[in-house]
Amino acid sequence: MRIMNGHIVAFCCEHSAYPAADSAGRLGLHYPENVRVIRVPCAGRVDLIHILKAFENGAAAVLVMGCEDGACHHITGNTRAKERVKYSEILLKEVNIDGGRVRMFNLSPNAPHKFVRAVNEMTRITKESGR
Amino acid sequence: MIIAERKPMEEIKQLIVPYRKVLVAGCGTCVAVCWAGGEKEVGILASQLRLARSVERNEISILEATVERQCEREMVAEIKDKVAEAEAVISLACGSGVQTMAEMFEDKPVFPGVNTTFIGMPEREGLWVEMCGACGDCFLDRTGGVCPIVRCAKGLLNGPCGGTRKGGKCEIDPEKDCAWVLIYRRLEKQGRLDLMRNYYAPKNYRAVKRPGKVQAAKA
Amino acid sequence: MAKPFRDILKTKDFVVTAEVGPVKGSNVSKAIEHIELLRDKVDGLNVTDNQSSVMRYPSLGICLLIKEHGGEPVFQVTCRDRNRLAIQADLLFAYSRGVNNILCLTGDSIDVGDHKEAKQVFDLDSVQLIHLVHTLNSGKDMAGNELDGGIDFCIGTTGTPSADPLEPQLIKVEKKLKAGVNFIQTQAVYELDELKRFVEFVRNMDEEVKILGGIVPVVGAKMAAYMNENVPGVFIPQRIIDELAQAPKGTGVAKGIEIAARMIKQIKEEKICDGVHIMFIGREEKVPEILGAAGLL
């Protein structure tokens, strides 16, 4: 297993982050090439094992991106995702991986800049984080 | 049901230091319900152990398998091939399951990955509390359905003790209700406080002689 | 030679008992000092049994010392550390050496003590222990075997007048009275109305039993807060904590003694109950001061 490969995995909710990522691309906004966008029907679809597997497959950081508070199309999907991301930080810390490498972001579909900022932020964190 | 809790990660890692191929075996019954050792938890622990050993630059191969009930020889037999592949097994089942695995595969080190704690129920999502002490001499009929053997910190039959905290909380934990106050309130609601006024003679602590055995009349 | 406690209970108007707390270790010189100091000033000397679940020199050992030094011991027995065999054996031994008075207690839980990983026994509870003493008194052991040489203890127990909720505690006290006790030494009281209420309840069920109000002096506001949080069965009201807080620095002990003496005086004058039981563990040498201030010497 080659961990902390350098690539970033972004689980993107199809109602918010995915269209935002799409817009960012079309607008020519710059963000690192090694971001792998994975489209999900809702941030709440992402479970702990998906986050852990992403790291097993070499991700240096994982983003879980969903709708803004109160705007989830599945009502509580983004809330559940938030709790799971928090818990996954604990699971990572248990194996000496910096919990800061996983984070939840909330955005609306017409916020491509927010998407780019999030991705750039996580890239910066992975460069700074030793572990 | 039986409630268990995953062991601390450091302890689990320590168990498998000398090995390069380990099976994590789960159980789909009690430990699955209390989020300690079901299929999901097997997947998570397996992933964590691979990551942990990767970080330490000492890779390990982790196999995964879950059976419906790890305390049944028939069901455990279903995963014998995976057990054969591994050098050691971490069982996430309760003590009963761990020992069944250990007995079925005597040549293989089988380690407990959870601490089996008690017979209990979910008070609310994610919080399990002890209810039954498996004393073999149930007298819940006389205590309004509240067991003082395990829910009273001292296991008293003629409670409460003099250490009850204000508001009816337990001497050892201000968050815990005094079982005898619970019994009082329950019996009062049912108009059966006379039961609490009865003297209860010392318990037969040998009702179940350990190791316990129950032989069904049929079969 | 001290008068038998059983007789004193029957004849004396106001009975006073105190406590000797064993130390951790085999050095009994301090205990002997306390015994010599107190034995003639009180009617009975209780010895605690691994009090607060802290391992100490055994109660029975100090009781024997009290006998040797001419005092009248009250052997406190908890159910936390010994099963029914060990307790019966200890009672036979105690009686054979002239220790005739027993206080039957449940015992604090292991968690409040210093050996937090020990196994709690609680094979019996305090009510069962009282029944047990009667069984032994009648010449048989718990399994129904005849004893060669029996016992005849004067039996006491505790009660918690300031329990909240009170009713479950009173049901427990009722069971103890039905089992048959000669005296009750209550847990610490600070509100005499609670003591009065407790006495009334007991008198309605048993006119003979003697009730001694528990007096535990508190020597500072901080100590009061600590005790409220950590000592089972103790509830010190805010007004006493305030009175202690207002005492000038360095006068905590004196203030605690003053408050205790004041309560004892009131109990005696108003004949609230049959006496007092003074528990000043760690400061046994101050007990005569309390007795003096309360007019009992």
CA A26 to chain centre: 20
Are B97 and B45 contained in the same domain?
yes
Which chain C residues touch B201 with a CB distance below 8 Å?
A: 128, 131
CB B47 to CB A94 under 8 A? no
Are B47 and B20 contained in the same domain?
yes
Q: CA end-to-end span of chain A, whole Å?
A: 16
A130 and chain B: CB distance < 8 Å anywhere? no
Whether the pLDDT of residue A126 is over 90: the answer is no
Considering its fold, how many domains does chain B have in total? 2
Whether the pLDDT of residue C121 is over 60: the answer is yes
Q: How high does pLDDT run on average in chain C? A: 95
Pairing between strand B114-124 and B2-6?
Answer: antiparallel
Domains of chain C, earliest start first: 5-219+262-293 (3.20.20.220)
Residue B215, domain member (yes or no): no
**Which residue on chain A is closest to B50 by alpha carbon?**
A56
CB B184 to CB C165 under 8 A? yes
- The single residue listed with the structure tokens 């455990």 is B76
The span from the CA of B24 to the CA of B92, in Å, is 7
Are B139 and B173 contained in the same domain?
yes
Looking at residues B34-58, what average pLDDT do you find?
97
Q: What is the pLDDT of residues A39-79, one digit of tens each?
A: 999 999 999 999 999 999 999 999 999 999 999 999 999 99
The answer to whether the beta carbons of residues B146 and B126 sit under 8 Å apart is no
Q: Which of residues 71-130 of B touch A (CB under 8 A)?
A: none
Looking at residues C21-26, what average pLDDT do you find?
94
| Phi then psi dihedrals of residue B109, to 5 deg | -65, 125
Whether the pLDDT of residue B107 is over 60: the answer is yes
Residue B209, domain member (yes or no): no
The span from the CA of A131 to the CA of B75, in Å, is 41
- The single residue listed with the structure tokens 């819940």 is B140
- Tell me the ipTM for this assembly: 0.91
Q: Which of B117, B144, B167 is the last residue of a domain?
A: B117
Are B80 and B140 contained in the same domain?
no
Whether the pLDDT of residue A5 is over 90: the answer is no
- pLDDT band of residue A6 (cuts 50, 70, 90) is confident
Whether the pLDDT of residue C116 is over 90: the answer is yes
Lowest mean per-residue pLDDT among B207-216, C61-70, C97-106, C174-183: B207-216
Q: In the numeric block, which tokens belong to residue A6?
A: 């350098």
The span from the CA of A119 to the CA of A31, in Å, is 7
Residue B63, domain member (yes or no): yes
Looking at residues B81-92, what average pLDDT do you find?
98
Domain boundaries defined on chain A: 8-128
Whether the pLDDT of residue B20 is over 80: the answer is yes
Optimal mutation site among C88, C105, C106, interface B, most CBs of chain B within 10 A: C106
Which chain B residues touch A3 with a CB distance below 8 Å?
A: 51, 54-55
Residue B60, domain member (yes or no): yes
Q: What is the pLDDT of residue C20?
A: 95
Whether the pLDDT of residue A20 is over 90: the answer is yes
B155 and chain A: CB distance < 8 Å anywhere? no
Are B7 and B113 contained in the same domain?
yes
| Phi then psi dihedrals of residue C233, to 5 deg | 85, 5
Q: How near does any CA of chain A get to the CA of B86, in Å?
A: 19
Task: Look up the CATH number of the domain holding residue B75.
Answer: 3.40.50.2300
Q: What is the pLDDT of residue C259?
A: 95
CB B44 to CB A1 under 8 A? no
Looking at residues C27-37, what average pLDDT do you find?
96
**Which residue on chain B is closest to C122 by alpha carbon?**
B154
Nearest in space to B42 (alpha carbons), one of B102, B100, B97: B97
Which chain C residues touch B156 with a CB distance below 8 Å?
A: 106, 122, 125
Whether the pLDDT of residue C190 is over 60: the answer is yes
The span from the CA of B56 to the CA of B127, in Å, is 34
**Which residue on chain C is closest to B155 by alpha carbon?**
C122
Q: What is the pLDDT of residue A131?
A: 56
Q: In the numeric block, which tokens belong to residue B42?
A: 């097997």
Optimal mutation site among B14, B45, B47, B59, interface A, most CBs of chain A within 10 A: B47
CB B199 to CB C175 under 8 A? yes
B206 and chain C: CB distance < 8 Å anywhere? no
The answer to whether the beta carbons of residues A62 and A46 sit under 8 Å apart is no
Residue type at C173 in one-letter notation: V
Considering chain B, what percentage of its residues have pLDDT values greater than 90? 97
The span from the CA of C102 to the CA of C185, in Å, is 11
Optimal mutation site among B156, B166, B173, B194, interface C, most CBs of chain C within 10 A: B156
Q: What is the pLDDT of residue C167?
A: 96
Considering chain A, what percentage of its residues have pLDDT values greater than 70? 97
The span from the CA of B180 to the CA of B198, in Å, is 14
Return the CATH superfamily for domain A8-128.
Answer: Lumazine/riboflavin synthase (3.40.50.960)
Nearest in space to C150 (alpha carbons), one of C137, C133, C132: C137
Are B19 and B94 contained in the same domain?
yes
Q: What is the pLDDT of residue C136?
A: 96
Q: In the numeric block, which tokens belong to residue C87?
A: 């307790």
Are B113 and B138 contained in the same domain?
no
Are B96 and B146 contained in the same domain?
no
Residue type at C69 in one-letter notation: H
Q: Which of B117, B150, B177 is the last residue of a domain?
A: B117
User: What is residue B18's DSSP assignment?
Assistant: T
Are B22 and B99 contained in the same domain?
yes
Nearest in space to A3 (alpha carbons), one of B46, B47, B10: B47
Q: What is the pLDDT of residues C33-51, one digit of tens each?
A: 999 999 999 999 999 999 9
Cβ neighbours for C122, distance < 8 A, ≥ 6 positions apart: B154, B155, B156, C79, C80, C106, C107
The span from the CA of B59 to the CA of B16, in Å, is 12
The answer to whether the beta carbons of residues A97 and A44 sit under 8 Å apart is no
Among B43, B49, B51, select the one facing A55 at the smallest CB separation. B51
Q: What is the pLDDT of residue A3?
A: 72
The span from the CA of C42 to the CA of C280, in Å, is 14
- pLDDT band of residue C91 (cuts 50, 70, 90) is very high
Length of chain B: 219
The answer to whether the beta carbons of residues C51 and C21 sit under 8 Å apart is yes
Looking at residues C174-185, what average pLDDT do you find?
98
| Phi then psi dihedrals of residue B173, to 5 deg | -155, 110
Residue type at B124 in one-letter notation: R
Q: Which of B83, B117, B151 is the last residue of a domain?
A: B117
B193 and chain C: CB distance < 8 Å anywhere? yes
CB B55 to CB A97 under 8 A? yes
Are B82 and B49 contained in the same domain?
yes
Optimal mutation site among B10, B11, B45, B48, interface A, most CBs of chain A within 10 A: B48
Among B153, B154, B180, select the one facing C168 at the smallest CB separation. B180
Q: What is the pLDDT of residue A1?
A: 67
Are B149 and B192 contained in the same domain?
yes
Say if residue B160 is preceded by a cis peptide, omega within 30 of 0. Answer: yes
3-state helix/strand/coil string of chain C: CCCCHHHHHHHCCCEEEEEECCCCCCCCHHHHHHHHHHCCCCCEEEECCCHHHCCCCCHHHHHHHHHHCCCCEEEEECCCCCCHHHHHHHHHHHHHCCCCEEEECCCCCHHHCCCCCCCCCCCCCHHHHHHHHHHHHCCECCCCCECCCCCCCEEEEEECCCCCCCHHHHHHHHHHHHHCCCEEEEEECCCHHHHHHHHHHHHHHCCCCEEEEEECCCCCHHHHHHHHHHCCCCCCCHHHHHHHHHCCCCCHHHHHHHHHHHHHHHHHHCCCCCEEEECCCCCHHHHHHHHHHCCCC
C84 and chain B: CB distance < 8 Å anywhere? yes
Considering chain C, what percentage of its residues have pLDDT values greater than 70? 100
Tell me the C-alpha to C-alpha distance, in Å, between residue B108 and each of B70, B153, B216, C37. Answer: 16, 39, 32, 68
Q: Which domain holds residue B39?
A: 2-117
- pLDDT band of residue C231 (cuts 50, 70, 90) is confident
Which chain C residues touch B165 with a CB distance below 8 Å?
A: 232
Q: Which of residues 6-35 of B touch A (CB under 8 A)?
A: 9
Q: What is the pLDDT of residue A130?
A: 61
Chains contacting chain A through 3 or more C-beta pairs under 8 A? B
Residue type at C210 in one-letter notation: K
- pLDDT band of residue C230 (cuts 50, 70, 90) is confident
- The single residue listed with the structure tokens 């006379």 is B194
Q: How near does any CA of chain A get to the CA of B70, in Å?
A: 23
